[in-house]
Amino acid sequence: MPTVDLNQPGKTLLMMGNEAIARGAVEAGVDFAAAYPGTPSSEILEALARVADKLGFYVEWSTNEMVALQAATAAAFSGLRSLVAMKQNGVNVCSDFLMGVNLTGINGALVFMACDDPSGISSNNEEDSRNYARFADLPLLEPATFQEAKEMTRWAFEVSEKLKLPCMLRSVTRLSHSRGNVTLGEITREQRSARFEGTFVSGAFVPAQHALLHAKLEQARELFENSEFNFYEGPEQAKFVIVTSGSGLVYSREAVSGLGLQEEVGILKLGTTWPLPEKFIIDHLRNAAEVLVIEEVDPFLEQNIKVLLAEEVKNLGPIVVHGAKSGHCPAFGEINQEKVTRALATLNGREYKTRDEDYAQRAKQALFAVPPRMPTFCSGCPHRAAMWAIKAALKLDGRNGFVTGDIGCYALGAGPAGYWQIKTLHCMGGGIGLANGFGNLGQFGFDQPVIAVCGDSTFFHAAIPALINARFNNSSLLMAVLDNGGTAMTGFQPHPGSGFDARGRTAPVILIENLCEAIGVPVLVRDPFEVEQSIEDVYDMLQEDGAKVIVFRRRCFRIEAKENLQQKYVVDQAKCIGDDCGCARFCSRVFNCPGIIWDQEAKKAVIDENVCTGCGVCASLCPQGAIVAQGVKS
């Protein structure tokens, strides 16, 4: 893994987009960085954390994005260069503060890194954070390549410092999580001391503050008119121009060359997309009759450009704009080279075929033989046992109870991995919040018990106010905190319960059960691998009124297996009696751990050594006691 502090200007490395962003911050001399993990943004702070001590800057994993932004803002108020990074959903979380700090402005520099996840590849939704830049009147940059991700991050600190405003950068999954060539620049480090001076009170004469903000935005526009990140490539007097930003640039280039349209179609690439560099755009669309806007998720550029072209219609004459509204660049899902090529081909009367149709049909037919691969909990995952206990207890209870879900690995409980138990899923903290409402519907005849599942990191991030509400308003619910010791889904970043911080230093452990006790809700801590006891506990707690919490505590097996030798488990072929058992192949079919497979010839269960992690929970569940430990895994 390339370290982002390699001091060899001019050297070209393979870097992930997020590492390039981190490198840009290092080259700019970042002093303070804060983030909450979320795909596809997490590697930015991870990369920074690895070099923070060596280069002498501050990093933290904050409890949520709001706190991260506020902490980074304090550093900026004090004249430092700071950065905050998050995924799209995090922007929603901190938007309330964002809508105030835009008015007060800042002193040093604050780079606000938003990583969007088009198609929701690792998210429960898809959204376009660029709207927040327009919403909050903040300058917005969109890198198109790995190299630009580095250069733009570096420049964003200067823009922010100059305008005394947070500067927003928007990345997407295919940039943040892809890797490519990055040529290193020089690392600058200035010894800056922090000092707070001045007043930053939003709400003091709001219209005046808002007017000043608009004036700053006009300053940003002037800055952007001459930015090297905006450029035009292609024939001089092109009648057909693709206007694009971010990931759209490489797709557009490949579409133009793939269709052999280099002599006819130009590409107007914008790196600064709010406010728009209007003069620059007008200059380059002077000869255009048609424009195709290529961008990812919302028609953000498209709509802003349509407004500009309407305003300039006297100078430019009518220009037809194709994009989301015309159906050429979909306003949902990821874009890619094929989608852009298809749109360009249609609009230019070209044919586009990826492969021979007969062949394509034959190849697609082969797919029928390939079984689907649904995502599942890892073998050894404590969530499988916890979800099993919840399912069994709800069945025992018999009142048609259900589970409200939350954000984390355990969200897979909405599918086969967690026996389809989770019935709602929205945002961080959404499960316990909903459970609050369900738990107070008794006067309307509602008698279904509700269980809110919530991860440990999610508990600290967003669940505490809702739990307090449940106690305050006497809502009947059971909260099951699935505590696996870290933020597992995004790569096991630490949180306040982990005992260490972003730089690996020892940190105080904040115990979830202590917080619950302080709130005054009954709380029980249980190892989910004590399956029978877990079922009984959940059942018993469901019979009580009011808010209760059970903490299912067992460390994520991926971390456990790295630190400690694991037992090797085998199926005792003499004890397993196959389908004669009547267990319906409990271990493989019902409990459904991917570490246990079925031996077609022997007609018995067998452990898959390649997949089994040696957690042993199946040994306690097999009705024949046929799964036994046999030494230590190599």
Partner 1 sequence: MNLKKDPLNLIITGVGGQGNVLASQIVATAGIKAGLYVTVGETYGASQRGGPVMSHVRFSQKAQPSPLIPEGQADVVVGLEPAEALRVIADFGNPSTRVIVNPRPVYPIWVLSGQAKYPPVEEIVETLAGLVEKVDVVQASENQAGMGANMILLGALAGSGIVPVSAEYFEEAIREIVPPVDLASNLEAFNKGKRAF
Whose Cβ is closer to partner 1: residue 364's or residue 505's?
364
Least distance to partner 1, CB of residue 565, Å: 13
Does position 179 interact with partner 1 (CB under 8 A)? The reply is yes
Q: Binding segment for partner 1 among 104-112, 186-194, 320-328, 360-368 (CB under 8 A)?
A: 360-368
Site for partner 1 in 496-525 (CB under 8 A): none
Least distance to partner 1, CB of residue 573, Å: 17
Whose Cβ is closer to partner 1: residue 178's or residue 287's?
178
* DSSP 3-state of 105: coil
- Which one among 359, 574, 582, 601 touches partner 1, defined by CB under 8 A? 359
* Contact yes or no for 494/500 (Cβ under 8 A): yes
Does position 267 interact with partner 1 (CB under 8 A)? The reply is no
* Contact yes or no for 246/301 (Cβ under 8 A): no
* DSSP 3-state of 448: coil
Q: Binding segment for partner 1 among 61-69, 226-234, 408-416, 520-528 (CB under 8 A)?
A: 408-416
Does position 588 interact with partner 1 (CB under 8 A)? The reply is yes
Q: What is the DSSP string of 336-400?
A: -HHHHHHHHHHHTT----SS-HHHHHHHHHHGGGSPP----PPTT-HHHHHHHHHHHHHHHH-S-
- Which one among 291, 409, 452, 478 touches partner 1, defined by CB under 8 A? 409
Whose Cβ is closer to partner 1: residue 199's or residue 361's?
361
Does position 597 interact with partner 1 (CB under 8 A)? The reply is yes
CA distance 430 to 581: 42
Q: What angle do CA 367, 371, 376 make, to 5 degrees?
A: 135
Whose Cβ is closer to partner 1: residue 354's or residue 448's?
354
| Phi, psi for 591 (deg, rounded to 5) | -70, -30
**Cis amide linkage into residue 139, ω under 30° from 0:** no
DSSP state of 482: E
E strand map for 437-566 = 450-455, 477-483, 523-526, 547-553
Encode 101-120: b = buried (16+ Cβ within 10 Å), e = exposed.
bbbbbbbbbbbbbbbbbbbb
Residue 399: CB partners within 8 Å, gap ≥ 6?
447, 448, 449
Whose Cβ is closer to partner 1: residue 275's or residue 595's?
595
Does position 361 interact with partner 1 (CB under 8 A)? The reply is no
Whose Cβ is closer to partner 1: residue 285's or residue 409's?
409
CA distance 621 to 138: 57
Q: Binding segment for partner 1 among 155-163, 200-208, 250-258, 423-431 (CB under 8 A)?
A: 250-258
Question: What are the C-alpha distances in Å from 190 to residues 21, 56, 81, 107?
Answer: 19, 10, 10, 16
Q: Binding segment for partner 1 among 55-63, 396-404, 410-418, 495-503 (CB under 8 A)?
A: 410-418
* Contact yes or no for 421/413 (Cβ under 8 A): yes
Whose Cβ is closer to partner 1: residue 80's or residue 489's?
489
- Which one among 366, 398, 508, 631 touches partner 1, defined by CB under 8 A? 366
Q: Which is it for strands 627-632 and 567-571: parallel, antiparallel or unpaired?
A: antiparallel
Least distance to partner 1, CB of residue 594, Å: 5
Site for partner 1 in 139-158 (CB under 8 A): 145-147
Q: Which residues bind partner 1 (CB under 8 A)?
A: 1, 12-14, 121-122, 145-147, 174-175, 177-181, 247, 250-251, 253-254, 336-338, 341, 354-356, 359-360, 362-364, 366-367, 369-379, 409, 411-412, 416-417, 488-489, 558, 585, 588-590, 592, 594, 596-598, 608-611, 633-634
